[in-house]
């Protein structure tokens, strides 16, 4: 399968708008819509609280997404200086002016950064953190799927060479994947995984206690996925022979799995008691 899409969707004067940027924006809009819809369905949050969390979570997610990309490039440039010389990675310590702006965001940084920002907001506003995270967990995986559509059109995050019949080849010279040959469509693999995980999280919603467990299930499942799928992705080792995402994945699993083993409780059907539709009182 060939993908000949130009990664630049259109230009506004001197500003180039990429498909990646468009789909990241759509992912953010989807998250806000999901939370608005859940409030309308009876979630114990106000719309003002949702908008406030968005105002905190979006910038913190972008900052951390960029930060992890910068750190990844710095480490790789130190381990493999020839890659910095050829321009395959950017040594941001030598070119700090390129830290702000430019291409390069990481999904892990976006998720963990936004989570940290929302956690801080919830602590200050005295909103129940676990409840909020469980509420948004299913939406995050759909947002990631939307973002991966942008990656697919962008030509980034592709896999290693393959001879499988569903391999993809980027034929547009302006694509990041141009010249890589026929590769594993790892972004498409992840889209499928995220949609399956979305259904699983919906099935588990309300069945796991304490609050926050559903979000940890999401983090654990995605971490395990990234550890595995990155063996099929192109990239330079960050630590030993592992990519940065794999290293983060192992760290996340070391934290989430023991906590869930020791604290998770399955809620029986007779214990389920959905909140009244008109109950908008925020959890403190």
Q: What is the pLDDT of residues 158-215, one digit of tens each?
A: 999 999 999 999 999 999 999 999 999 999 999 999 999 999 999 999 899 999 999 9
Which of 272, 266, 194, 236 is CA-nearest to residue 81? 236
pLDDT value at residue 278: 42
Task: Tell me, rounded to whole angstroms, the distance of Cα 48 from its chain centroid.
Answer: 24
pLDDT value at residue 272: 58
Mean pLDDT (whole number) for 71-94? 84
Residue 168 has φ and ψ, to the nearest 5°, of -120, 155
Mean pLDDT (whole number) for 78-86? 82
The sign of the torsion formed by the CA atoms of 43, 45, 49, 55 equals negative
Whether residue 253 has pLDDT greater than 90:
yes
Q: How confident is the model at residue 276 (pLDDT cuts 50, 70, 90)?
A: very low
Cβ-proximal residues to 196 (8 Å cutoff; 6+ apart), any chain: none
Query: What pTM value is reported for the model?
Result: 0.89
Domain spans of the chain, in order of start? 16-198
pLDDT value at residue 281: 44
- The answer, yes or no, to whether the previous bond of 117 is cis (omega within 30 of 0) is no
Cα 228 to Cα 206: distance, rounded to the nearest angstrom: 29
Instruction: Read off the tokens for 256.
Output: 């989430």
């Amino acid at each position: 399968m060939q993908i000949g899409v130009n990664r630049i969707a259109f230009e506004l004067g001197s500003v180039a708008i990429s498909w990646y940027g468009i789909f990241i924006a759509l992912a953010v809009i989807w998250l806000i819509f999901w939370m608005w819809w859940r409030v309308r369905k009876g979630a114990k949050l106000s719309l003002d609280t949702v908008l406030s969390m968005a105002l905190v979570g979006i910038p913190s997610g972008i900052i951390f997404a960029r930060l992890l990309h910068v750190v990844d490039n710095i480490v790789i440039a130190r381990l493999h200086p020839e890659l910095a010389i050829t321009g395959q990675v950017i040594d941001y310590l030598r070119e700090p002016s390129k830290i702000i702006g430019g291409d390069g965001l990481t999904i892990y940084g976006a998720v963990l950064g936004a989570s940290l920002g929302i956690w801080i907001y919830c602590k200050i506003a005295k909103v129940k953190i676990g409840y909020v995270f469980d509420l948004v967990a299913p939406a995050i995986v759909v947002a990631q799927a939307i973002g991966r559509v942008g990656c697919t059109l962008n030509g980034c995050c592709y896999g290693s060479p393959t001879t499988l019949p569903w391999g993809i080849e980027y034929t547009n010279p302006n694509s990041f994947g141009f010249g890589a040959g026929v590769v594993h469509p790892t972004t498409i693999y992840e889209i499928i995984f995220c949609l399956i995980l979305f259904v699983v999280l919906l099935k588990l919603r309300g069945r796991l206690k304490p609050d926050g467990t559903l979000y940890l299930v999401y983090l654990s499942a995605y971490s395990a996925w990234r550890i595995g799928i990155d063996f099929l992705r192109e990239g330079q080792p960050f630590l030993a022979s592992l990519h940065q995402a794999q290293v983060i994945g192992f760290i996340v699993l070391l934290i989430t799995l023991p906590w869930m083993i020791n604290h998770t409780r399955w809620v029986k059907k007779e214990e389920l008691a959905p909140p009244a539709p008109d109950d908008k009182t925020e959890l403190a």
